Copies of this chain bind each other. A is one copy, B any other.
Amino acid sequence: MLEYLYPLRTYLIVSGVEKPNVMTADWVVPLSFEPPMLGVAVGHTRYTHRLIKECGEFVVAVPTIELLKDVWIAGTMSGAKENKIEKLSLTLVDSKKVKVPSVKECQANIECRVVKEAETGDHTFFVGEILAVTHGDAFVGGKPDISYKFIMHASFGKNFTTNSSEKFMP
């Protein structure tokens, strides 16, 4: 029933401090302007679920299509069983306000502290207050440049697309 909301943007969720992990997530949503908040739904069985519960922080990193191979690995390999970070060609760097690291190769890193949780079926919905953001050239002036190809999940599985660079005005 959920694929009727697709295609959806795909992001990376970083969590954990001592042994950070990177997970792929389509289920990310803005929630509030003031204070700035966003939410992410994470499956109960995910390693990231445990990490966010433990450290109370996460980073939403914004990949572009050049990172698709890493996004696929991060979404299909479990960091609980293998050293996922070693398999990824991503560089973890210090964040500004949270202990959880950011992803250097991503076009934005949104640093969040968990302020609320809600159980929603087989996922936990983590509500994060946004404490800081760092960004690359795709967000000059704080707005996305749609000539960049952000990753979209076209439907479940190995099916991806991107945004158009075409502009429409109503």
Q: Which residues of A contact B (CB under 8 A)?
A: 1-9, 11, 26-39, 41, 60, 62, 65, 68-69, 71-73, 108, 110, 116, 118, 120-123, 125, 127, 130, 133, 135, 139, 142-144, 146, 149-150, 152, 154-156, 158-170
Q: Is A122 within 8 A of B162, CB to CB?
A: no
User: Which residues does chain B contribute within 8 Å of A29, judged by CB atoms?
Assistant: 5, 27-29, 39, 41
* Chain B nearest CB, measured from A22 CB (Å): 15
When all copies of this chain in the complex are counted, the total is: 2
Question: How long is the Cα–Cα vector from A50 to B48 in the complex, in angstroms?
Answer: 35
User: Which residues does chain B contribute within 8 Å of A169, judged by CB atoms?
Assistant: 158-160
CB-nearest residue of chain B to A72: B170
* Chain B nearest CB, measured from A109 CB (Å): 9
User: Which residues does chain B contribute within 8 Å of A9, judged by CB atoms?
Assistant: 5, 7-9
Q: Is B7 within 8 A of A144, CB to CB?
A: yes
Question: How long is the Cα–Cα vector from A28 to B69 in the complex, in angstroms?
Answer: 26
Q: Is A69 within 8 A of B170, CB to CB?
A: yes
Sample of 25 A–B contacts (CB below 8 Å): A1-B130, A4-B62, A4-B108, A4-B135, A4-B142, A5-B28, A5-B110, A6-B143, A7-B150, A8-B9, A28-B29, A31-B121, A33-B122, A35-B121, A36-B121, A37-B120, A72-B170, A116-B118, A116-B120, A118-B125, A149-B164, A152-B164, A158-B169, A161-B168, A163-B164
CB-nearest residue of chain B to A69: B170
Question: How long is the Cα–Cα vector from A90 to B62 in the complex, in angstroms?
Answer: 35
* Chain B nearest CB, measured from A62 CB (Å): 6
